[in-house]
């Protein structure tokens, strides 16, 4: 069974001219569609790229083959023809890696949906919350996102911006002048039994950026076994609560949120999710 992207023409022009106006759709991908049997359809009929369009014509582009869809084991926060946004539980690896070739979230989702997915940004294994996938390979590169994290840290860092380059050293990211640029914006929200709940926005999105930056100023995340509390049996208290993204096709702004998981709520000492 085919899965296709359906669009509507808004002006008189050739189909190829219309395709070139789709953000992120490369010349190579357009060429592949042109030479693929049934790759391009207008009003249900296969056509050539030179086909003249009229306003209101229905355009259908081949995306991929898909078999019978199986149940997805994660909560779906948003889905359409181009995007899949899921609620990531803590403790799961996002993409295939050594030792996690078959049990990563991406592999499990691709098996359930029976078609490939393309990750837009990653979350650490211990981090929970909003996770975005594209359903076509060009989608992640043209999808702008702005993520808001909630975290629980030791002490109270106050409102601050941590601007320290980070480099990998013995499995940890550490401040280093020769490292990769990284900037983290922190704002306290409320006191919690063992520290402070903070909201965090990041620039650059380096590996372990939030965990490493907060540890570097003496306010590691609660239960973080790598950066603050060796031997902890919990997980670093970090949750991607909201993702604001610009849809790659419609250019509409979507705001997608995730409820705080139970272990996070227990650590805050409150009974309701924070929004």
Q: Which residues are catalytic?
A: 124
**Are 201 and 146 contacting, i.e. CB atoms less than 8 angstroms apart?**
yes
Range list of H helices, 145-269 = 209-216, 262-268
CA 147 distance to own-chain centroid: 9
Closest listed residue to residue 274, CA positions, set 199, 207, 169, 178? 199
Spatial separation of the C-alpha atoms in residues 255 and 48, rounded to whole Å: 38
What are the percentages of helix, strand and coil residues in the chain, rounded to 5? 15, 35, 50
Spatial separation of the C-alpha atoms in residues 178 and 162, rounded to whole Å: 16
């Amino acid at each position: 069974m085919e899965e296709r992207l359906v669009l509507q023409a808004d002006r008189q022009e050739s189909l190829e001219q219309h395709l070139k106006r789709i953000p992120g759709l490369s010349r190579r991908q357009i060429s592949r569609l042109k030479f693929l049997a049934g790759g391009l359809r207008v009003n249900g009929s296969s056509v050539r790229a030179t086909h003249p369009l009229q306003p209101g014509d229905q355009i259908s582009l081949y995306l991929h083959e898909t078999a019978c869809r199986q149940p997805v084991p994660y909560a779906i926060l948003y889905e359409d023809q181009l995007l899949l946004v899921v609620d990531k539980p803590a403790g799961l690896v996002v993409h295939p890696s050594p030792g996690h070739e078959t049990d990563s979230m991406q592999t499990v989702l691709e098996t359930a949906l029976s078609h490939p997915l393309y990750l837009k940004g990653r979350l650490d294994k211990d981090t929970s919350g909003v996770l975005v996938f594209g359903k076509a390979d060009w989608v992640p590169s043209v999808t702008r996102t702005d993520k808001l994290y909630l975290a629980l840290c030791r002490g109270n860092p106050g409102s601050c911006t941590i601007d320290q380059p980070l480099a990998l050293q013995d499995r940890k990211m550490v401040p280093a002048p020769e490292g990769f640029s990284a900037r983290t914006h922190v704002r306290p929200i409320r006191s919690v039994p063992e520290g402070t709940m903070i909201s965090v926005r990041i620039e650059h999105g380096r590996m372990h950026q939030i965990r490493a930056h907060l540890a570097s100023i003496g306010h590691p995340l609660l239960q973080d076994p790598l950066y603050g509390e060796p031997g902890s049996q919990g997980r670093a208290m970090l949750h991607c609560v909201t993702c604001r993204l610009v849809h790659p096709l419609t250019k509409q702004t979507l705001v997608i949120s995730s409820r705080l998981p139970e272990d996070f709520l227990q650590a805050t000492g409150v009974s309701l999710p924070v929004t």
